[in-house]
Amino acid sequence: MKTFELIATTTFGIESVVRREVEELGYDVHHVTDGKITYIGDVEAIVLSNLWLRSADRVLLKMGEFEARTFTELFDQTIELPWEHWITPKAKFTVNGKSVKSDLFSISDCQAIVKKAIVKRLQKHYDIEWFEETGPEYTVEVSLLKNIATLTIDTTGKDGLHKRGYRKHTVEAPIKETLAAALLQISYWKKGRIFYDPFCGSGTFPIEAAMIAKNIAPGLHRSFASCAWPQIPRDLWDELREEAQESIDEKEKPSIYASDIDRNTILNARENAAAADVGEYIQFFTKPLHKTSLPHGDYGFVFCNPPYGERIGQQKQVIRLHKDLRTLLDTNPTWALYTITASTNFEKEYGKKANKKRKLFNGRIPVTFYQYFGPTPPKTDKK
CATH for 107: 3.30.2130.30
Overall average pLDDT of the 27-45 stretch: 96
**Residue 382 pLDDT > 60:** no
Residue 59 resides in a domain: yes
Residue 342 resides in a domain: yes
**Residue 383 pLDDT > 70:** no
241: domain CATH number is 3.40.50.150
- Are 26 and 130 part of one and the same domain? yes
- Are 211 and 132 part of one and the same domain? no
- Are 345 and 202 part of one and the same domain? yes
Residue 229 resides in a domain: yes
- Are 116 and 239 part of one and the same domain? no
Residue 185 resides in a domain: yes
- Are 243 and 284 part of one and the same domain? yes
Its domain, for residue 364, covers 177-217+225-372
- Are 138 and 183 part of one and the same domain? no
- Are 342 and 195 part of one and the same domain? yes
Nearest to 179 by CA among 75, 57, 52: 57
For the whole prediction, is pTM greater than 0.75?
Answer: yes
- Are 118 and 192 part of one and the same domain? no
pLDDT cut 70: percent of the chain above it: 97
Is 147 exposed, middle or buried (CB count within 10 Å of its CB: 0-12, 13-18, 19+)?
middle
Residue 165 resides in a domain: no
- Are 109 and 212 part of one and the same domain? no
Residue 166 resides in a domain: no
Overall average pLDDT of the 335-344 stretch: 95
- Are 195 and 48 part of one and the same domain? no
Cα–Cα distance between 370 and 359 in angstroms, integer? Answer: 9
Going from the C-alpha of 306 to that of each of 124, 152, 229, 370, the distances in angstroms are: 57, 37, 42, 12
Overall average pLDDT of the 200-224 stretch: 97
- Are 183 and 34 part of one and the same domain? no
The confidence score (pLDDT) of residue 333 equals 96
**Residue 380 pLDDT > 50:** yes
Among residues 139, 154, 169, the one where a domain terminates is 154
With the CA atoms of 110, 115, 120 and 124 taken in that order, what torsion angle do they form, in degrees rounded to the nearest 10?
Answer: 140
Mean pLDDT of the chain: 94
Cα–Cα distance between 356 and 225 in angstroms, integer? Answer: 39
Q: Count Cα atoms within 13 angstroms, Cβ side, for 11.
A: 27
φ, ψ (nearest 5 deg) of residue 349? -75, -35
Q: State pLDDT tens for residues 321-339.
A: 999 999 999 999 999 999 9
Secondary structure (3-state) at 360: strand
The confidence score (pLDDT) of residue 381 equals 54
Cα–Cα distance between 277 and 272 in angstroms, integer? Answer: 9
- Are 108 and 201 part of one and the same domain? no
Q: What is the domain count for the chain?
A: 2
Residue 201 resides in a domain: yes
